[in-house]
Amino acid sequence: GFAHSHHLSWIQILFNQCAHSKYAQKLLADLMTNYTSALRPVEDTNTILNVTLQVTLSHIIDMDERNQILTAYLWIRQVWFDAHLKWKKEDYDGLDTIRIPGSNVWRPDIVLYNSADNQFTGPMDTNVVIQHDGQVMWDSPAITKSSCRVDVSFFPFDGQQCRFTYGSWTYNGNQLDIQNAMESADLADLVENVEWEVLGMPAKRNIILYGCCADPYPDVTYTLKLKRRASFYVFNLLIPCVMISFLAPLGFYLPADSGEKVSLGVTVMLALTVFQLLVAEIMPPSENVPLIGKYYIATMTMITASTAMTIFIMNIHHCGPDAKPVPKWAKTFILQYMARMFFVYEVGENCMSAQMEKQEYEMKDGDIFCSIHSNEGPLLRNIEYIANCYRDQRATQRKTGEWKKVAKVLDRFFMWMFFIMVFFMSLLIMGKVI
């Protein structure tokens, strides 16, 4: 008995399906008789046809800052009432919805106004769902390329706002009115983007009067608010630059006799130029210089200044025996006060050499003194001459030593000054991160 009833129920289901498909065919044939997809489907030509638009953002594919184009994958739902596509459910065995190809029915010509696509591909030709009361729902996916004004003033800590403006191309507001289904686009199915964080996508309905025509044209504008995830650029562009710029003041700490002072400055300059070229390739060639670009320019200016200062100090360091003695004010100000402030004590490179020279000098003087007592006339004159020569030599040595110390003190002073400048500049740019 059980098997028999089971068998009967299957026959029932199959019969119902056959009946449904038969009724669906009959319904389609009835609906399409005398139907034209070319004209606006209203009873009275003065009636305004309402179209409700809803956009779901699925994926941000690409944001091209240089060409200012945003590529996104959207799902677009349009709902309207077609006066000629109504039927009574009872006549067709309770059939309340039917899905047919979109090309068979009239569809609104709603387009993306700020499209930047070279092929002009609209939404996909998918099926439309028709309800028995004449409601038509058209869901279609679309990959849109829209023009978007990119402001890179605060790159890489910038946020962008991109607009999607949808409106009818040929119908004015008295024939077709466009409404937004929700206050904002649906972001529930959004696929996370690695570079951009989506803050929101509010929708706003506008009515625009164009110069060509007196009629109003309504549109719905979605504003996509994006914020850049900056960590990639911080690690690849900012931190290397900060490290390189901290090398620049160390050029002043290098001993002048090493001959590497200027070449260090020039090398650092070249390294920064490479980074600046990288940034210039990504950015649009607009008047707004990005924040990171300003930082590079400031650092490069500073390094140029430090290299120029180094050359000036090298000249002081290599003051020969013919140089003038160090002026009085420089002696008191640089060799006493500034030397104490920047902890520069010895004249030579290390303390040992200076002490050894001192002992040697005392010994020689003693020898001369002894020999003057023990010998007579002509020898005495020669010895005096030698002693004078030696004294002159010591004086010029002391003079060049003083110039070297002046150079060393100035080196220390500029090193600390430039360190503080680099530190504050890095602090300013890193302050934007936090």
- Summarize the chain as % helix, strand, coil (round to 5): 45, 25, 30
Residue 432 has pLDDT above 80, yes or no: no
Q: What is the mean pLDDT of the chain?
A: 84
**Average pLDDT for 128-152:** 93
Amino acid 139 reads: D
Residue 200 has pLDDT above 90, yes or no: yes
| 204 touches 166 (CB < 8 A) | no
| Model confidence pLDDT, tens digit, residues 340-358 | 776 676 544 444 444 444 4
Residues 6+ apart with CB under 8 A from 215: 172, 173, 174, 209
Q: What integer pLDDT is reported at residue 112 of this predicted model?
A: 92
| 106 touches 37 (CB < 8 A) | yes
**Average pLDDT for 16-31:** 81
Q: What integer pLDDT is reported at residue 326 of this predicted model?
A: 75
Q: Which pairs count as long-range contacts for 427-434, CB under 8 Å and 24+ apart, including other chains?
A: 429/238, 429/291, 429/292, 429/295, 430/238, 430/242, 432/154, 432/157, 432/291, 433/157, 433/230, 433/234
Residue 419 has pLDDT above 80, yes or no: yes
Task: Indicate the pairing of strand 97-101 with strand 110-112.
Answer: unpaired
Longest dimension (CA), the chain: 155
| 111 touches 167 (CB < 8 A) | yes
Q: What are the tokens at 394?
A: 């010591």
**Average pLDDT for 67-79:** 94
Residues, the chain, total? Answer: 434
Residue 89 has pLDDT above 80, yes or no: yes
| 131 touches 97 (CB < 8 A) | yes
Determine the Cα–Cα distance for residues 73 and 76; give it in Å rounded to an integer: 10
Give the closest residue to 254 by CA, choosing from 301, 314, 308: 314
Q: Taking the CB of residue 62, how many other CB atoms lie within 10 A of it?
A: 12
User: What residue ranges define each of the domains in the chain, with the CATH number in brackets?
Assistant: 31-228 (2.70.170.10), 233-343+390-431 (no CATH)
Q: What integer pLDDT is reported at residue 156 of this predicted model?
A: 85
Determine the Cα–Cα distance for residues 425 and 242; give it in Å rounded to an integer: 9
Cβ burial, residue 334 (10 Å; 0-12/13-18/19+)? buried
Residue 131 has pLDDT above 80, yes or no: yes
Q: Which of the residue ranges 197-201, 284-288, 416-420 has the most confident prediction, judged by mean pLDDT?
A: 197-201
**Average pLDDT for 65-88:** 93
**Average pLDDT for 382-391:** 89
Please, what is the end-to-end C-alpha distance for the chain in angstroms? 77
Determine the Cα–Cα distance for residues 151 and 128; give it in Å rounded to an integer: 40
| Global pTM value | 0.75
> In this predicted model, which residue has the larger pLDDT, 432 or 155?
155
Q: Is 392 left (phi over 0), alpha (psi -120 to 50) or beta?
A: alpha
| Model confidence pLDDT, tens digit, residues 301-353 | 989 998 898 888 888 888 766 667 777 777 776 777 677 776 676 544 444 44
Give residue 176's pLDDT band: very low, low, confident or very high (50, 70, 90).
Answer: very high
Q: Which of the residue ranges 143-152, 258-267, 310-319 has the most confident prediction, judged by mean pLDDT?
A: 143-152
Q: Which pairs count as long-range contacts for 282-286, CB under 8 Å and 24+ apart, including other chains?
A: 282/65, 282/66, 283/65, 283/66, 283/152, 283/155, 284/65, 284/66, 284/67, 284/68, 284/150, 284/152, 286/152
Residue 7 has pLDDT above 80, yes or no: no
Percent of the chain whose predicted confidence (pLDDT) is above 70: 85
Residue 264 has pLDDT above 50, yes or no: yes
Rounded to whole angstroms, what are the CA distances from 38 to 116, 171, 185, 417? 28, 13, 30, 77
